[in-house]
């Protein structure tokens, strides 16, 4: 039996955090000391995107932690602790953190992401209208741009397909214009519908 099959059986084909049955997938808990089912969980698409900080936190969605924090599975305990810390401005999250117990080894594992030191804000790449940009999106230039180190001038209205997000810098994306890969500031693009 594969790891994923074991987790599907354990989770009964539901998210082990919120109990949703849509878009369930395997999630490996970052910095896991366990390379087996103890270091993984089955999570839904909503939980996954918010865990990976690809979407803003939905405080109401994470009320599910009130139950999942009591799981016997170490990975689910760690996820719960990390998410409760990201939501610690909510009184219910702080109350749950006060009740939750993790031994020293699990606390060390949980703290490796630094979520206990950060707030719940998520840095997302957004276009000039505030639309969230993701890898593979198409955008339209809203301003003509001179490309540094090149004679290329990217004209306003140019469609840039299959963009790539620049990790660590929410103000930049990469895309090809006239066959040349360039870095474009997100404030100069509009997401194409």
- Helix axis angle for 74-86 and 104-111, nearest 10°, is 50
List Cα–Cα distances, 135 to 23, 53, 161, 179, in angstroms. Answer: 19, 14, 10, 18
Map tokens 């990976």 to a residue.
52
Residue 53 has pLDDT above 90, yes or no: no
- pLDDT, tens only, 6-32: 999 999 999 999 999 999 999 999 998
Residue 69 has pLDDT above 80, yes or no: yes
User: Which pairing describes strands 172-177 and 164-165: parallel, antiparallel, or unpaired?
Assistant: antiparallel
Q: How far apart are the first and last CA of the chain?
A: 42
Q: What is the pLDDT of residue 187?
A: 94
- pLDDT, tens only, 131-143: 888 899 999 999 9
| Residue-range domain boundaries for the chain | 3-117, 139-191
Fold annotation for 139-191: SH3 type barrels. (2.30.30)
Residue 75 has pLDDT above 80, yes or no: yes
């Amino acid at each position: 039996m594969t790891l994923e099959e074991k987790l599907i059986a354990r989770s009964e084909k539901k998210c082990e955090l919120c109990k949703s049955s849509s878009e369930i997938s395997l999630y490996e808990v970052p910095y896991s000391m366990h390379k087996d089912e103890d270091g993984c969980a089955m999570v839904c698409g909503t939980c996954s995107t918010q865990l990976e900080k690809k979407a803003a936190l939905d405080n109401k969605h994470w009320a599910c932690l009130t139950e999942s924090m009591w799981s016997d599975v170490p990975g689910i305990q760690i996820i719960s602790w990390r998410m409760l810390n990201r939501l610690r401005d909510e009184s219910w999250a702080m109350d749950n953190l006060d009740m939750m117990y993790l031994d020293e080894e699990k606390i060390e594992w949980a703290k490796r992401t630094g979520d206990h030191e950060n707030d719940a804000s998520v840095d997302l790449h957004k276009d000039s209208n505030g639309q969230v940009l993701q890898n593979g999106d198409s955008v339209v230039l809203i301003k003509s741009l001179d490309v540094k180190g090149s004679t290329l001038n990217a004209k306003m209205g140019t469609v840039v397909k299959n963009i790539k997000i620049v990790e660590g810098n929410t103000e930049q994306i990469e895309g090809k214009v006239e066959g040349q890969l360039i870095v474009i500031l997100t404030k100069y693009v509009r997401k194409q519908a």
